[in-house]
Amino acid sequence: MLSFYLISNNTDHIFGVAKVDKRFSGRLHSHAEDERYVLLQGEGIVEIGGLQHKMRPGDEAYIEGGLNHAFISTGPEPAILMFEFEQGPLEDKKK
């Protein structure tokens, strides 16, 4: 199961937290906005544009708008992700 908690939603910024139950896979999707994930708890794999990357707490993933992506919780506990969208590109904020 996947649960979303919206923290901020104004005209230029969306920020929230997602809880991904253990061993759950989100559906592959895309959208126009750039997105950033920060894994707070658990373990997982983020798929971005057909490539998979392991994530552990503290890891960050940058997803360019238009790329198919999904998160898969792989650990024994639920994964907690922070997510961020902005109307403009996040390019200047990439690490």
9-32 tens-digit pLDDT: 666 778 889 999 988 888 899 988
Of 32, 36, 84, which is closest to residue 59 (Cα–Cα)? Answer: 36
At 78 the three-state DSSP class reads coil
User: Residue 92 — pLDDT band, cuts 50, 70, 90?
Assistant: very low
Report d(CA 88, CA 13) in Å as an integer. Answer: 9
What is the residue type of 61?
A
Position 94 scores a pLDDT of: 43
Position 27 scores a pLDDT of: 84
52-80 tens-digit pLDDT: 999 999 999 999 999 999 999 999 999 99
Position 31 scores a pLDDT of: 87
Report d(CA 78, CA 1) in Å as an integer. Answer: 10
DSSP-derived secondary structure for 14-30: EEEEEEE-TT-BPPPB-
**Angle, alpha carbons 91-58-75 (nearest 5°):** 120
Position 24 scores a pLDDT of: 83
Strand arrangement, sheet containing 69-73: 51-55, 44-48, 69-73
